[in-house]
Structure 1
Amino acid sequence: MLKILGKSSSINVRKVLWTCAEIGVPYELEQYGNGFLPTGTPEFLSLNPNGMVPVIIDEGQALWESNTICRYLAVKHGRSDLLPVGPMARAQVEKWMDWQATELNNAWRYAFMALVRRSPAHTDAAAIAASAAEWNRLMTLLDAQLARTNAYVCGDRFTLADIVLGLSLNRWLSTPIERPALSAVEAWFERLAARPAYIQHGANGVP
């Protein structure tokens, strides 16, 4: 059985849990991270030298990086609806997944750490404002994409791009910042909220 290492409140672990729920993959979850089993031990670092979650163990091998894990699961289980086979269609999904992991995550990090995590290392008011502004700017770009598709991130079908960005959407809505009214994003949220797996692992009250 697939083994997932990582605490279930982690945004990146929840990507994997949501993907498993959409596919119907059974798994065993071992809670690792703050307040649970440590990630800095030699045993864990032998699985992921970065000391971060999630890690999966499948077919006797360890795999880390949440977006990579989601892609692996979709390919292994033949879910070409979640990750298309055609090179361009697949690249369009992966483009938005990579954008989430690089541009969007970097934008929200300072504001989120300050306003939700209450990190003492993130108290600069100007940096908080700049982070929130960039976060809103990028969400406006996503809104424009959703207005074009009038459905999901990459078109009329739900894909892995919706999973990883759906978690980011939940974090954006959960962080106490001023947000622009984005009608296409709001409609997308309603479509996602109709999926039981999103309510369980995405919009579940955890930012």
Structure 2
Amino acid sequence: MLKIVGKDSSINVRKVLWTCVELGLPFEREDWNPGHAALNPNAQVPVLVDGGFVLWESNTICRYLCAQYCDGALLPVEAQARARVEQWMDWQATDLNTAWRYAFMALVRQHPAYRDAAQVEASIAAWNRHIAILDARLAATGAYAAGAHFTLADIVLGLSVNRWMMTPMDKPALPSVAAYYDRLALRPGFRTYGRNGVA
């Protein structure tokens, strides 16, 4: 059985847990403890243990699970279709995450190192601007990030949308993102791991 190391309150751990639900994969989850230090030199979660194979980095773990245990439904085999999915995954991990980090740390985590009001406002503006990019994409596809069908890109983006919606800040009305959020809420894995247990 797969072992996933990391608390299920972590957005990156929840990517992996939701992916396992979508793929119908049984797993055991353990909180990180000092005994796990040999699994990841960065001492970060999630870590996947699949038999004797150990892997870290959440998006890489999700890709591996799809490649190893899926028929291509979540992560297509065909090069261009796969690239479209991975494009949105990489955008989430780089551009979008960079945009929200300061505001989230200030407003939700209330971390003392993130108290510069101007930087908070700049981060909120960047975060809203990036979610508007996703809104435009969803308006164009009418469904999901990579096109008409749910893919691995929607797991990583769905968690980011949930974080955006849950953060107490001013947000523009983005109807395509709102409709997307409702579509994702029909999926049991999202209700459990993507929407903080809210049905």
Question: Shorter-chain TM-score: which interval?
Answer: over 0.9
Q: 1:205: Cα distance to partner?
A: 5.6
TM-score by length of 1: 0.93
Q: 1:44: Cα distance to partner?
A: 2.7
In 1, Cα distance between equivalents of 2:172 and 2:105: 21
Determine if the alignment matches structure 1 residue 75 to structure 2 residue 60. Answer: no
Determine if the alignment matches structure 1 residue 175 to structure 2 residue 167. Answer: yes
In 1, Cα distance between equivalents of 2:172 and 2:90: 24
Equivalent in the alignment of 1:103? 95
Q: 1:45: Cα distance to partner?
A: 3.1
Structure 1 counterpart SS, 2:3: strand
Q: 1:59: Cα distance to partner?
A: 2.7
TM-score by length of 2: 0.97
Equivalent in the alignment of 1:2? 2
Q: 1:204: Cα distance to partner?
A: 1.6
Superposition map of 1:28-177 within 5 A: 28-32=28-32, 37=33, 41=34, 43-177=35-169
Kept after mapping to 2: 8 A contact 1:4/1:55: yes
Question: Which structure 1 residue ranges, 4+ long, deviate > 6 Å from structure 2?
Answer: none
For structure 1, which runs of at least 5 residues remain unmatched after alignment? Answer: none
User: Which letter maps to 2:39?
Assistant: L
CA deviation vs aligned residue, 1:165-194 (integer Å, no higher than 9, x gap) = 000000000101100100110110110011
> Percent identity over the alignment?
62
In 1, Cα distance between equivalents of 2:10 and 2:70: 26
User: Which letter maps to 2:78?
Assistant: G
Structure 1 counterpart SS, 2:153: helix
Give me the CA root mean square deviation: 1.1
In 1, Cα distance between equivalents of 2:51 and 2:153: 25
Structure 2 counterpart SS, 1:121: coil
Kept after mapping to 2: 8 A contact 1:23/1:79: no
How many residue pairs are counted as aligned between the two chains? Answer: 198
Q: 1:79: Cα distance to partner?
A: 3.3
